[in-house]
């Protein structure tokens, strides 16, 4: 029994050493691999335009503009910072000795308070106003939406008729810009529904382009299942939410 325990203890300590060792070599292998794949990935995809990459990190509109990203590397943080609030084990209390005091700070000091600033309040108001304006303009134009089947982004015959009418209005109003919002019902995952919503919006856009509308006048955005038109749990409601919503853009 004692031997068994001792052996296991030794194994664990040796194991720890191996894990630590492994951690180091892993890192060097990984960075090597990344350097390689970086070249290949670029070549394969034809490379995302360098300008697109250059624009990343731009922080227009944010309160704290910063040219560089924060340092997210785990290894660059001092261990005690990572372990701050780390566990210290139990103190001996033999002979009636009291444990040493451990002070727990603030409760929620880890989180900065969110105080909606004037600028965010303004932004929220802008969103509301813009949305109301779009709704009014779209209603006036008589734009029709397109509805989809479960899991589907194929435009139906009925959808094609609606879009033929929409295309006529868009072509007849040369200055108007149009946005197509892709929406989904609540079934399925949040993430995949964002992709599905985009497929629906793009299917609508592509059909409008086929009908002769200039692609530069059409924007697409997906809201997945995050901005439903109807909140009940039945097929007629689901049908309302599987939608390509065609709206006149306010700007």
Partner 1 sequence: MNRIIIGLMIALCVVVGAGLLGILDSRATDVFLEATRPDFQKIPIGVFGFQNGGGPEWLGGRIEEVLRADLQRSLVFSLVDLPGIGVKAREVTTADKAVFKQAAENGVSVLVWGKSGPRNGSADSELSMDGFVYDSGSDEVVGGKRYVGSTSVVRLMAHRFADELVFRYTGEPGIARTKIVYVAEHGNARELFVMDYDGYEPKQITADGFLDLMPRWSPDRRFIVFTAYRSRNTQDIDILELATGKRWTLVSMAGLNITPALSPDGNFLAFASSQDGNSEIYKLDTRTKASHRLTVNQGGDLSPTWSPTGREMAFTSDRGGAPQVFIMSADGSNVRRLTYEGDYNAAPAWSPRGNWIAYVCRTAQRLYKLCIVSPDGQKRVQVTTGPGIDDSPSWSPDGRHLTFSSTVDGKSHIYMVDTDGKNVERITFGGTHNSSPSWSPAL
Report how far apart, in Å, the C-alpha atoms of 90 and of each of 67, 79, 93, 95 are. 45, 21, 9, 15
Q: How far is the CB of 161 from partner 1 (least distance, A)?
A: 27
Residues in region 200-239 near partner 1 by CB under 8 A: 219, 221-223, 226-227, 233
Angle at the Cα of 139 from the Cα atoms of 133 and 140, rounded to 5 degrees: 90
Instruction: Tell me which of 3, 25, 80, 92 binds partner 1, using CB under 8 A.
Output: 92
Tokens linked to 153: 């982004």
Residues in region 148-167 near partner 1 by CB under 8 A: 151
Q: Residue 169 burial (CB < 10 Å; 0-12/13-18/19+)?
A: middle
Residue 75 or 172 having the CB closest to partner 1: 75
Instruction: Tell me which of 127, 136, 139, 215 binds partner 1, using CB under 8 A.
Output: 127
The owner of tokens 């731009």 is 58
Q: How far is the CB of 150 from partner 1 (least distance, A)?
A: 9
26 binds partner 1 (CB under 8 A): yes
**Which region among 83-91, 135-143, 208-216, 234-242 touches partner 1 (by CB under 8 A)?**
83-91
Q: How far apart are CA 34 and CA 54, in angstroms?
A: 20
**Which region among 141-149, 165-173, 181-189, 234-242 touches partner 1 (by CB under 8 A)?**
181-189
Number of chain residues interacting with partner 1 (CB under 8 A): 112
172 binds partner 1 (CB under 8 A): no
Beta partners for residue 245, in sequence order:
181
Laid out side by side, the sheet with 218-224 consists of 146-147, 243-248, 178-183, 218-224
59 binds partner 1 (CB under 8 A): yes
């Amino acid at each position: 029994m004692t031997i068994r325990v001792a052996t296991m203890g030794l194994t664990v300590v040796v194991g720890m050493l191996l894990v630590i060792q492994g951690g180091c070599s892993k890192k060097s292998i990984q960075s090597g691999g990344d350097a390689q794949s970086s070249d290949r990935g670029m070549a394969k995809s034809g490379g995302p335009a360098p300008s697109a990459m250059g624009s990343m990190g731009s922080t227009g509109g944010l309160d704290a503009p910063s040219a560089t990203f924060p340092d997210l590397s785990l290894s660059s943080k001092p261990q005690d910072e990572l372990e701050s609030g780390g566990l210290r084990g139990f103190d001996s209390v033999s002979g009636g000795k009291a444990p040493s005091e451990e002070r727990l700070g603030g409760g929620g000091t880890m989180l900065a308070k969110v105080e909606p600033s004037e600028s965010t309040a303004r932004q929220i108001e802008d969103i509301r106003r813009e949305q109301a304006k779009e709704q009014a303009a779209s209603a006036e134009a008589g734009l029709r939406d397109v509805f989809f089947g479960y899991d589907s982004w194929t435009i139906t015959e009925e959808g094609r008729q609606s879009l033929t009418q929409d295309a006529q209005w868009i072509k007849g109003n040369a200055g108007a810009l149009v946005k197509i919002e892709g929406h989904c019902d609540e079934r399925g995952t949040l993430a995949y529904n964002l992709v599905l919503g985009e497929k629906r919006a793009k299917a609508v856009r592509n059909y409008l382009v086929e009908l002769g509308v200039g692609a530069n006048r059409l924007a697409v955005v997906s809201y997945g299942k995050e901005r439903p038109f109807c909140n009940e749990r039945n097929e007629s409601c689901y049908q309302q939410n599987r939608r390509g919503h065609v709206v006149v853009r306010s700007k």
